[in-house]
């Protein structure tokens, strides 16, 4: 049998967008709040939004959605009997997309009738799955609702049902880079002409005993006692400081520039061969390739700021910084939001993207208390947003002021 050797030469033309793409709007539900004004006000507050919660006779720092959002989720469950069966991750996605729809109805001509929907999750319906599995272990039986409510696809399909959309609907999981991979997917559909608008994002409700136990087994969870428990971008930390959070964050991506809040000017992605199931190379080669690709597509050699993935782990934070310093001759302004909201898994890239758009709108950088930048840009035109998941799947997006 013949051996084939494939050699692929990188060409910027391969990744050129066939049409300009714009963010028509965005919305999120997280510990920061559930309106853009609440979120921005929370970013002005120099504290971490973590709370102590007990699981299995042990307390952990966790990031739950705001009290107002919890009430909104409870009301949502009462609307239809079917909604009472849904996993929390689906309910957060429903709530976020309703807020997005409201925002767009006030500022845009976009409708959701034929919009594509791509909302992903790292863990999916983990809370329901754990509950149904416990029920099965005790009784040997499960509810008839178990199968349809624990599939990954119901994240987007219920959003489509709620909004009355008849367009393309799919969900996916690429761990922590899921939401930004969703933007890549939506961009491909829009650029091909197969759709004119897309709702895209990520949702995660991972605050369950089993999920937390997984992070503890990996020795990633923070053991710091004070509220600044996640030391994302602190390069002198002696232990991993990941804090888990729940959130949903969604965007309307469109080919229309009217009333858009930002433009998507660059996209990059890469995967690298890993030596450990949760690790990337010490200089994050996947990030280097993704960032370079995004810069080429945006026709830039520099951005004003980078919102780092930086989960608060020793090796993860250092590898990403090493990658940035290899790609940029002058290090841009670096910041994160995980020190404030924790790691929201599939929603984390979307939460970072929202932060980037807010920084563009307000022309203000949100600092990270653990990292001192040498200078702060006086004008913000281009922001890079990074995300990477288990398996070395990195994505870098560039959002630009219109």
Stretches where the chain sits below pLDDT 70 are 1-18, 109, 274-279
| Letter string b/e over residues 99-133, b meaning 16 or more CB atoms within 10 A of that residue's CB | bbbebbeeebebebeebbbbbbbbbbbbbbbebbe
pLDDT given at position 15 = 57
pLDDT given at position 277 = 57
Cα–Cα distance for residue pair 12/301, rounded to 1 Å = 14
Q: Report the chain's mean pLDDT, rounded to a whole number.
A: 92
Instruction: Tell me the HSE value of 346 on the side-chain side, using a 13 A CA sphere.
Output: 34
pLDDT given at position 314 = 96
Whether 209 and 58 have beta carbons less than 8 Å apart is answered as no
Question: For residue 248, what are its two tokens?
Answer: 């949903």
Cα–Cα distance for residue pair 104/50, rounded to 1 Å = 31
- What's the CATH number for 18-400? 3.40.47.10
Please report the sign of the dihedral spanned by the C-alpha atoms of residue 336, residue 21, residue 173, residue 56.
Answer: positive
**Residue 111 — φ and ψ, nearest 5°?**
-125, 165
pLDDT given at position 16 = 64
pLDDT given at position 250 = 98
pLDDT given at position 51 = 95
Whether 203 and 92 have beta carbons less than 8 Å apart is answered as yes
Cα–Cα distance for residue pair 208/91, rounded to 1 Å = 16
How many residues can be counted in the chain? 402
Question: For residue 381, what are its two tokens?
Answer: 């035109």
pLDDT given at position 293 = 97
pLDDT given at position 109 = 67
Exposed, middle or buried: residue 313 (CB in 10 Å: 0-12, 13-18, 19+)? buried
Question: For residue 193, what are its two tokens?
Answer: 């002409």
Region for 78 from its dihedrals, namely left if φ exceeds 0, alpha if ψ lies in -120 to 50, beta otherwise: alpha
């Amino acid at each position: 049998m013949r051996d084939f050797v494939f050699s692929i030469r990188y060409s910027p033309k391969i990744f050129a967008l066939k049409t300009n793409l714009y963010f028509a709007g965005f919305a999120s539900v997280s510990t920061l709040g559930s309106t853009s004004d609440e979120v921005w006000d929370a970013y002005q507050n120099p504290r971490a939004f973590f709370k102590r919660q007990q699981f299995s006779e042990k307390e952990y720092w966790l990031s739950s959605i705001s009290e107002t959002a919890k009430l909104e989720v409870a009301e949502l469950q009462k609307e239809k009997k079917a909604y009472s069966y849904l996993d929390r991750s689906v309910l957060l996605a429903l709530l976020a997309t309703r807020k997005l729809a409201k925002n767009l109805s006030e500022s845009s001509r976009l409708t959701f009738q034929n919009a594509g929907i791509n909302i992903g999750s790292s863990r999916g319906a983990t809370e329901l799955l754990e509950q149904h599995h416990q029920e099965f272990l005790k009784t040997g039986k499960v509810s008839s609702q178990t199968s349809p409510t624990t599939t990954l696809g119901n994240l987007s399909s219920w959003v489509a049902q709620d909004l009355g959309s008849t367009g393309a609907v799919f969900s996916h999981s690429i761990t922590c880079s899921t939401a930004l991979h969703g933007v890549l997917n939506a961009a491909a559909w829009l650029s091909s002409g197969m759709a004119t608008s897309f709702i895209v994002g990520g949702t995660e409700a991972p605050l369950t005993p089993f999920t937390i136990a997984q992070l503890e087994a990996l020795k990633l969870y923070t053991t710091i006692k004070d509220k600044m428990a996640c030391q994302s971008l602190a390069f002198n930390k002696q232990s991993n400081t990941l804090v888990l959070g729940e959130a949903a964050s969604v965007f309307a991506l469109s080919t229309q520039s009217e009333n858009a809040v930002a433009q998507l000017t660059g996209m990059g992605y890469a995967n690298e061969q890993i030596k450990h199931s949760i690790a990337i190379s010490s200089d994050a080669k996947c990030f280097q390739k993704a960032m370079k690709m995004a810069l080429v597509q945006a026709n830039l050699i520099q951005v004003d700021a980078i919102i780092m993935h930086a989960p608060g782990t020793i090796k993860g934070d250092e590898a990403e910084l090493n990658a940035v310093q290899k790609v940029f001759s002058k290090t841009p302004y670096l910041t994160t939001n995980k020190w404030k909201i924790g790691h929201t898994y599939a929603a984390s890239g979307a939460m970072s993207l929202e932060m980037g758009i807010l920084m563009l709108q307000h022309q203000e950088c949100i600092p990270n208390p653990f990292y001192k930048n040498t200078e702060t840009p006086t004008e913000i035109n281009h922001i890079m947003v990074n995300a990477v998941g288990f398996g070395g799947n990195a994505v870098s997006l560039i959002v630009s002021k219109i």
